[in-house]
Structure 1
Amino acid sequence: MHPSIRFINSAKLSRSDLACLLTPEECVQQFSRFRNPTDVVKSLPRELAQRVSLTAKKSTAGLLSALQKELVQANWIALTNTPNHHSLDDARFRNAPRLKSRIETLADIKESRTPKASYKPVTDDVTLVRNYAHVPYEPSPEHKIVVEFAGQWSSHAACLMLLKSEDQAPKVTNARSDMENQHRSLATFAGLSEEARDLCIKVPCTDQPQPITLPLATALTPVEKDAAMEEWDNVLIPVLPMLESGGGSELCSSGYFYVIWNNKVWREVEVAPNGYFADVDLEYYRNAEPEGGKAFRHVNIDGANLVNEYYVGEEPFELYQAGNKVYSGTLNVDQSARVFRLTEEEVEVAFPTLDIDPITVKTVKSPSKAGDGDDRVAQGTPLPHIWVPYKINGEIQSESEGSPHLFTGTLPHLSL
């Protein structure tokens, strides 16, 4: 371990340790002398090292950032081997409010000793009747919704999501290989009530926090948790779009293609140079165009400068534009965040868990996208294949008028 620093769990901190206390910044400053992240890991207790992710352990900067986070949250305490004679004033621990609160609690405790008597303590050997109190509880939901996929493959960025309902929050899941049936994978939403739910595909974006959602089905009815089917009522098929030519079919190497479902453009997809497929957020272009031709803007939130009194990394925040709440999320570990698709020159940032007033922040005009102003830009994370519905709510789509089919064309000329 580091020759002059030791770490203890915060639960073991006592008044005698306060004279040896180090702030998170002081501890990280001493460890910054290490050049090899392996040397830093060897200096940490095994329990503390296990809390650091493998990604953070790849670099000294990432490792020290993770270490500082643990110390700021007062999960672990850094101590010197000898008293450091530093004061315990508020200014020294202003960036670690949880650690400061822990110190104040210990400082208020007065050590006292109870004198021992010279006689044996009196014990009560009378057995009392136990008093049982009935506490009513709500039974846990035991229903599920299962979506079947044709084939088995490695997971990627896309997933399935149940939208928020009146009584239940949104829920996300990924497809897993069915060990008993090797021809399929199953995506299971467990722990549901009997309330019907709406299903969609969720595709994360590469340059914004809001994902692309592709509607699949409405009012899906959950089944009992022990239910099993040879083929479930909702089935998706992963496909690779191909072009027909005189000699047969070939994979698309560039351009855009469209999936038409229920007589409507359901997906618009760009073929990336590496052969992957990136979605266009069609719902955004249909419904979220800025009024009056305003240019899009974005905001860069720097929590360290906005809130000097606290460390606000991973703190939830809300964004208000023209008095309306337009976004809610969580700051990154470095106390920053960036939000796109704004239209006003100023927005308000509010921290619902902190006792501070909303802060006004100026927005910045976003750079224009490539191509004409009317062009739609693919922002979805590139995927190795796309999912299309084969059966929804028990109805096979290939036997209906609204069956999904592919169309290739030029982006600006296809109506949404």
Structure 2
Amino acid sequence: MQYTLKNINELRVADLKTVMRPAAAVRLIQGQSELGAKPNITNVTDFNVGTYDSVNNNVDQLSRHLETGNVVIVQSDPLDELSVLSSIGRLSTNLPEALSSKVKDLFVAVRSTSSINRAIPYELVSKQAAISSLAAEQQAKADANAVNKTVAHPSASRVNNPKANTANGSNGASTRPSNPYQSQYTPVVYYEINVEFAGQWPRNSASLFLEKTNEQDKAIARPRADRNLSHRSLSRFRNIDNEPRNLYLNIPDKNGSAPLQLLLAENIVPVEKDTEMDEWDNVLVPVRPLAYLDEGKNKANAAELKGGYLYLFWKGELWRELKVSERSYYQDVNLEKYRNVPAQQNSDNDSELRPADGSGLPDLWIPYKLNGQVQAGATGVKLLFWPTQLTDDQIDNYEATPADLDKYATELDGLSAYSQSQAFSDDQHVSDMLSNSLIPVTDNDMPWLGNATSLFGRLQNANIATAYLDGQNKGIRFKFEVGMEDYDHGHSTEYLAHLVDSKSQWQQTQLVTVVKDSHGTWRECVFYALPNQGEFSLYVVNPDNNYERSLILSDLDYAALAKSVPVDDKIVTVDELAQPDESKFAPDQFWDDYHDLLTQW
């Protein structure tokens, strides 16, 4: 086995596969010294590792330089297990800092002059790629030298015309560089994309990612607290090419399936590495929605949501649909999965038109500024809460008729306060978390409002925003006595309650649910978003028998309906099947199918 001793500055790309690890090199030279054999390492005692002193042991001195990475031993016949690179090109660990830095610099040079994907860390660049890069470099130099020899005149050489060379100022001195092995590669400039988040808060399972391109792989980043500025967090995509990228929101699936991916912005331009900005061109604001408890929309009278659905309309279109869980987490629906698919065919669960598959999130990441453009007005975000899942027709109507959406939705243009104060002022429907206080929910409030405050408390000092929504707390709750039911024997009938206004086209159908802890004796239903003017009639229908129904209340105005009206009628089986009064029910197929009831109304 033959070895060559080199200074660290002489190390080249082609040597990477043959450089011995320091520990192996030290064992080699110490073993040779102990055996008394002449080392076959070139000029050990004469190598410039320090002033020669016959008293000192130059082998030990050389070992110390190997251990610090100032000197390397290169094998002419490499053994992979002894090299600084493994057989797959991964950089060995625990290398001296000087040697590790030099190897990294060489890999940077390889990546800058080859077709290697720059998104791959330098440790994973294969030895074959390094050698191929070197071969291409040497071939280019050989071709250049051949051209130079062809055009050069013999009289131009220093041998044939030494005086001319002296006259030109060289004085016959050698123009050869002091270190012929020194790298001539231009340092690579790395780029990055930074996305700013308002506040610093506990992590959630969502993340951001850059879409894959022809030159670069997909990259994922999560928000991390900015150590220099306490009002914000940053998602940094480091060491990428200077190539515009598309940015996505990445939401894991609760069942471990493919994550939900939502486009945020296209063609985001990177900046040079280590660039700093007071506010970046791409800013997301985490938002925690609260529900107004009264019609006056008083922020001092608000509560958490524990049911229903949240709808984020962005640029006039529905961007996200989220189910609110009992614990006040938000779960995304994969809207793209259900586009152009009839709602009643989307789920085996009759209570959901579009099931929520996303993992639970404690807040919503709202796009505030993208590519330097503030998202407001026509391009802004509007947030809508609805106790039940919207049908396809309702979604289409809100997208086509912004005026209808504005009746119930909250616009989030107030997030612009962040650019002025790095916090959120008391805007019309937006504020900071610190100024909020939650009001206990009572039995008179709607069932989708709750008293849970654990998430609210965790986020209160996070410098994120609160958005206040119409909680649809204005509703009517009816309770019916149905008699004792034995759930262990036989079928328990599911009743529907249908409320219709004879003065308008408004109507609503709700499932009559079992009251908790009632052993089936009582059932109730809740209607919401009723018109202020109208005459209302309430029917209870047994969907198991197409014509079985009871008229509970008839032609009451809203004021009378809102009073505590005793309902003495029990839900009973009608012996004589009466034909339905079609004038009371707008859908033509009211009696045909129970599933149609849930989707049409």
- TM bucket (normalised to shorter chain) is 0.3 to 0.5
Higher relative contact order (CA 8 A, sep 6+): 1
Would you tell me which structure has more helix in proportion to its own residues? 2
**Structure with bigger gyration radius:** 2
Q: What TM-score comes out, normalization by structure 2 length?
A: 0.34
Q: TM-score, normalised by structure 1?
A: 0.48
